[in-house]
Amino acid sequence: MTWHRSTLLRLLQLADLAIVAAALLSAAALAAPDGDDWFTILAMRVEVRNLLIVAGYLAYCHVVFHGFGLYRSYRLSPSSREWHDLAWAVLIATLPLWAVADPFRLQFAARIFLPVFAGLAFCGLGAERRLLRVVARGMRRHGHDRRRVIVVGDGEQAFDMVARLARRADLGYHVVEMIPLDPRGNGNGTGSAAVLGRIETLAASQAIDEVFVALPLDSAQPLIRALVSLCEEQGITVRLASSVAELIFARAQLDEVDGRPVITLFSGPPDSHALLGKRLLDLGLSLVACLLLLPLFVTLAIAIKLDSPGPILFAQERVGLRRRRFRLYKFRTMIEGAGRLPAGLEPLNGAQGPVVQIRNDPRVTRVGRWLRHVSLDELPQLVNVIKGDMSLVGPRPLPSRDVPRIDQRVRERRFSVRPGMTCLWQVNGHAPEFEDWVKTDMEYIDNWSLGLDLKILLQTLPAVLSGRDGD
């Protein structure tokens, strides 16, 4: 670690402690009883006991932040990873305040103090790190805080990695040397022993921070193990940039199993706290909606029963997350036994692809036509959301009979997420063309975020009131 990086880390650590202390003071003032204000809080008597408690707590926070790796390099990490680490660090740092509030008679630790403190600390530390990233990237573009690296690869992959590092000047990498190697040993590149010797020589003569290895993970295993062992002795960071496979739609992340690194490839949204937030949002909104709409459910059930004979609910097998089958519930809108499409109605299908959409379908009941127009027939799917079969937002689930008709493998990526009650193509305008339908579903999967889900939910009501065809 260079002296200027060490200095920046020390400043960052001091700034973190200052932000935590400011969050403590601000939360205490905001959570103070009626009649107290900032001046009352600031005028509190400074006691040795209070100073020791605050100093001990700041030391604890420092240990927690180190434990969660907040001071390691996030140069190549996505922003979400840093936010994830920061959220957990703040949560663990907040717990002792709740535990010691009564024993130490911390009067300021009122009920709202802890969430206010955690929120202020998280926002303050997050804003500080966003600012730090912006400043650091600007410095790297101007040649400061650069890391000296060696790239080892089998020709084409090595040149590709060097080109990528050169294009991303904001990452701050200076390639000292590229060592080409042919792992098949056909004489077109440097041999394994020569590679190790060259790295050792370069590390002895100048500072080398990292080694990028762009080699196949199968045939180059002996060299990679020897290279990792050498770099461990030299204190050099090793980054394996080997391509396991050409990724068209999938993305990769590094996990571990009992200390062994595992490369994970996924095409849908990765398992994360954002997905947990999506599930909590689904459960919360669905439970509240079911309670509020219970009188409406009863009214619709009576209307359906009076309008035509048959069950109140219509259940159909659909295909959901990772091709798991489930029973989807809707209010019945057709006459009993309408699931069997008569041959005479086949030419009336107005949709393209493996879906059935018939305008002015004679099988739809009077109440059913109105239910479809305002989308109230979909409301029982809130039960599917609570059960975990579906989400509030996601690609619409296909009937099991239509899944085998999908003729392109790329379309099957829609099974990498939970199907939803509403989706992107519904709020953007109903298009019966199956190709446009699938294209919009892929756009949703590739760009998914909680913000996008909230945006779709807010746009759903106007789209519903404008009318639509049932699926």
Taking only the tens place, the pLDDT of each residue in 278-289 is 888 899 899 999
Whether residue 177 is predicted with pLDDT greater than 80 in this model: the reply is yes
Is residue 434 in a domain?
Answer: yes
Q: Which run of H or E residues covers position 98?
A: helix 79-100
Give me the residue label for tokens 């001990």: 56
Whether residue 428 is predicted with pLDDT greater than 60 in this model: the reply is yes
Alpha carbon distances (Å) from 332 to 337, 367, 391: 11, 9, 21
Please, which residues bridge with residue 393 across strands?
422
Whether residue 244 is predicted with pLDDT greater than 60 in this model: the reply is no
125 band by pLDDT with thresholds 50, 70 and 90: very high
Same domain for 171 and 239, yes or no, is yes
Same domain for 137 and 153, yes or no, is no
Whether residue 138 is predicted with pLDDT greater than 60 in this model: the reply is yes
pLDDT score at 339: 59
Alpha carbon distances (Å) from 128 to 83, 106, 123, 140, 444: 12, 28, 8, 18, 31
- Give the mean model confidence (pLDDT) for residues 416-421: 87
pLDDT score at 6: 67
Same domain for 131 and 181, yes or no, is no
pLDDT score at 153: 83
pLDDT score at 240: 80
37 band by pLDDT with thresholds 50, 70 and 90: low
Same domain for 291 and 386, yes or no, is yes
Is residue 360 in a domain?
Answer: yes
Percent of the chain at pLDDT > 70 equals 71
- Give the mean model confidence (pLDDT) for residues 411-430: 76
Most confident region among 99-103, 134-138, 185-189, 325-329 by mean pLDDT: 325-329
141, 163, 182 — which closes off a domain? 141
Is residue 195 in a domain?
Answer: yes
pLDDT digits (tens, 9 = 90+) for 228-237: 888 877 778 8
Residue 84 token pair: 């994830």
- Give the mean model confidence (pLDDT) for residues 168-191: 70
pLDDT score at 383: 94
Q: Are the beta carbons of 317 and 331 closer than 8 angstroms?
A: no
Alpha helices in 219-330 (DSSP H): 221-234, 273-292, 294-307
pTM of the model: 0.53
Tell me how far apart the alpha carbons of residues 55 and 48 are, in angstroms, rounded to a whole number: 10
Tell me how far apart the alpha carbons of residues 208 and 173 are, in angstroms, rounded to a whole number: 11
Same domain for 85 and 162, yes or no, is no
Most confident region among 223-232, 261-270, 301-310, 453-462 by mean pLDDT: 301-310
Same domain for 339 and 364, yes or no, is yes
Same domain for 12 and 79, yes or no, is yes
Whether residue 464 is predicted with pLDDT greater than 70 in this model: the reply is no
Same domain for 230 and 328, yes or no, is no
pLDDT digits (tens, 9 = 90+) for 247-263: 555 566 666 555 566 66
Residue 469 token pair: 């065809």
Please, what is the average pLDDT of the chain?
76
Going across the sheet that includes 398-399, the strands are 325-331, 313-319, 398-399
36 versus 369: the higher-pLDDT residue is 369
- Domain extent, residue 163, equals 147-243
pLDDT score at 142: 78
Same domain for 348 and 436, yes or no, is yes
Same domain for 126 and 162, yes or no, is no
Same domain for 77 and 187, yes or no, is no
Number of domains in the chain: 3
108, 141, 174 — which closes off a domain? 141
Alpha carbon distances (Å) from 372 to 85, 313, 353, 386, 428: 46, 14, 22, 22, 18
Alpha carbon distances (Å) from 161 to 138, 151, 155, 467: 22, 8, 10, 52
300 band by pLDDT with thresholds 50, 70 and 90: very high
pLDDT digits (tens, 9 = 90+) for 68-79: 888 877 777 777
